[in-house]
Chains A and B, each alone.
Chain A
């Protein structure tokens, strides 16, 4: 094989590794972002951004690839949630009078309202506990959550329990306001 052909093989091998990683992890990365944002379109947007960032800087065959993607998905979507929360706050402040008069009793609207409130509460939490909740709720194992966040697996139970208590308090705080 000449050098050019070998180069092409190496390039193809790298692209093949990235494609394999993408196929294995894309659904999970979207799932993590969707858990935070509850918005399919935005979740895919986050997932694609995360993969592009990864591909630009890292080798797809790196051992840490899945953990990197999971963590980046959680952080990027939580960041966006905080951005969206700020936007919503502004919009709400402007439209607070109207909102009180136009409460819709239908179940769909209630569910949407619940989701919005939980996401707001999630956005008020510190990044690490929020990420623990989101990664675990997205179906990652304790070992996977530990790897994504760079903590020992033995700490996950405690972190998760504390994060659940915090989220509950934040949701209650949001409702009483």
Chain B
């Protein structure tokens, strides 16, 4: 038998149980390997001493409350974190929801569309953390009720996804190198929710957080926004099989997500677009930049706002499938995405891929 490798010997130093009977027998009978084992064990011990550090006594409860107080740990988008975004055990479900939601639900937080909103184009809106926090308070200024709850299903085939949603999943002509061809489909039925503004709830929420708020216009109290989302289909590329203990693989995040959704709609009673828009931009914490962007948008009733957190991402306008789309690049290395609206549908291509790849996939979707 060949001599044992350094790696095998090193593992035997830490865990004699982990070695095979043949390896143990070899070590017992081989003076050369025994010498190497002793040297490796000595080295391991001295390295352990070198890497020693005084133990840290932690107060977990105090640390937990510090982390929960940190602004970034707060739910980021208030209204956007609707019940069906909550908590999903499996990352692929989460990823699918994220893609559909990014394309469809983002509009809710902005809801500046007014009387009847149905986007036919997309527009990036740079937002800051403080904007997000200010906007997330909006969720507490009324009551959200699902009149038709979204149901999300993960299916094995495109046909199943199409029969659940009534939409054919877009076909990808060529995957970028390195993206797994293992695909999972997801389908979401049409969902409808209403949000009813309440001046009393807004006042209570403001009092609870110790803030002074602009007075809610009389026309907004009791006004309802009716929001429809989906139906939607998506496909997620990536291998989600559980890492086995014998051969643990990398963390299984989706590599590529493609989603298609019927354009969301928002209609409102009592309150017009202008009033709502003015109220939103008057909230404390809204940055001047966001105020300017919202005011500059010509026709909010047909524009789907894509919030781009300024600390984390950049965006540019690109042409996709003959229409204007928004390409998001991510400074954190998480990935890139392209979103566009065409023929009454919102499309999104997102993943841990280069922006140029995302645009190419988007242009070649069938």
Contact = CB atoms under 8 A, between A and B. Distances in A.
A147 B117 CA distance: 46
A64 B56 contact: no
Contact of B87 (A60, A71, A153): A60
Nearest to A10: B86
A59 B94 contact: yes
A82 B348 CA distance: 38
A175 to B, nearest CB: 12
B126 to A, nearest CB: 18
Contacts, number: 166
B50 A59 contact: no
A34 to B, nearest CB: 5
Nearest to A71: B251
A73 B210 CA distance: 36
B1 interface: no
Interface residues of B, number: 58
A164 B248 contact: no
B18 A14 contact: no
B138 to A, nearest CB: 15
A168 B47 CA distance: 8
A113 interface: no
Contact of A64 (B48, B64, B91, B149): B91
B247 A64 contact: no
A111 to B, nearest CB: 10
Contacts of B249: 150, 152
Contact of A7 (B56, B144, B242): B144
Contacts of A57: 334
A148 to B, nearest CB: 9
Given A3-B145, A151-B248, A27 B60 contact: yes
Contact of B50 (A62, A162, A171): A171
A134 interface: yes
A35 B252 CA distance: 27
Interface stretch (B70-78, B255-263, B295-303): B70-78
B248 A143 contact: yes
Contacts of A147: 243, 248, 251
B215 interface: no
Contact of A158 (B10, B56, B66, B86): B10
A39 to B, nearest CB: 8
A46 to B, nearest CB: 11
B270 to A, nearest CB: 22
B83 interface: yes
Given A143-B245, A151-B248, A40 B143 contact: no
Interface string B222-264: 0000000000000000000011011111111100000000000
Nearest to B71: A52
A125 to B, nearest CB: 12
B51 interface: yes
A81 interface: no
28 contacts: A6-B83, A11-B86, A17-B87, A19-B64, A22-B67, A26-B58, A27-B60, A34-B56, A40-B54, A47-B63, A56-B73, A58-B91, A62-B91, A63-B242, A64-B252, A64-B253, A67-B251, A142-B18, A150-B249, A155-B7, A156-B11, A157-B5, A158-B5, A159-B7, A160-B10, A161-B6, A161-B10, A168-B43
Interface of A: 3-4, 6-7, 10-11, 13-14, 17, 19, 22-23, 26-27, 30-31, 34-35, 37-38, 40, 43-44, 47-48, 51-53, 55-64, 67-68, 71, 114-115, 118, 122, 133-134, 136-137, 142-143, 146-147, 150-162, 164-165, 167-168, 171
Interface of B: 5-11, 14-15, 18, 40, 43-44, 47-48, 50-51, 53-56, 58, 60, 63-64, 66-67, 70, 72-73, 75-76, 82-83, 86-91, 94, 143-146, 149, 242-243, 245-253, 334
